[in-house]
Amino acid sequence: MRFIIGSVVNIASTRALQSEENTEAYSATKGGIVSLTHALAVSLGPEIKVNCVSPGWINATNDTLSQSDHQQHISERVGNTDDIAEVIELLMCTQSGFITG
């Protein structure tokens, strides 16, 4: 039986798959992070889990946003930094050993 000895969590973006005008370099680098994540998971697993979080719009400055801003999301709200931290915590814990790649 093999045990997980490590975890890597990369941060990409929804821009890897949903580009906007004039975001070529940003979108390409985020797409590269997604591909790198998968390749590392294949190479390092199962001892080391490798995952990627691709957040959409995150209100990192706690600005006041309009209702129409929030309505752009299925969850009906813009994300915040705690949302991302909680996902990373989940991916790094030993209970999520099946989640990799």
Tell me which residue has tokens 């989940």: 90
Q: How open is the CA angle 31-36-37, to the nearest 5 degrees?
A: 100
Q: Judge whether 77 counts as a catalytic residue.
A: no
Considering 26, 38, 55, 92, which one is annotated as catalytic? Answer: 26
In angstroms, the CA 48 to CA 94 distance is 11
Nearest alpha carbon to residue 11 among 43, 58, 46, 47: 58
Q: Which positions are annotated as active-site residues?
A: 26
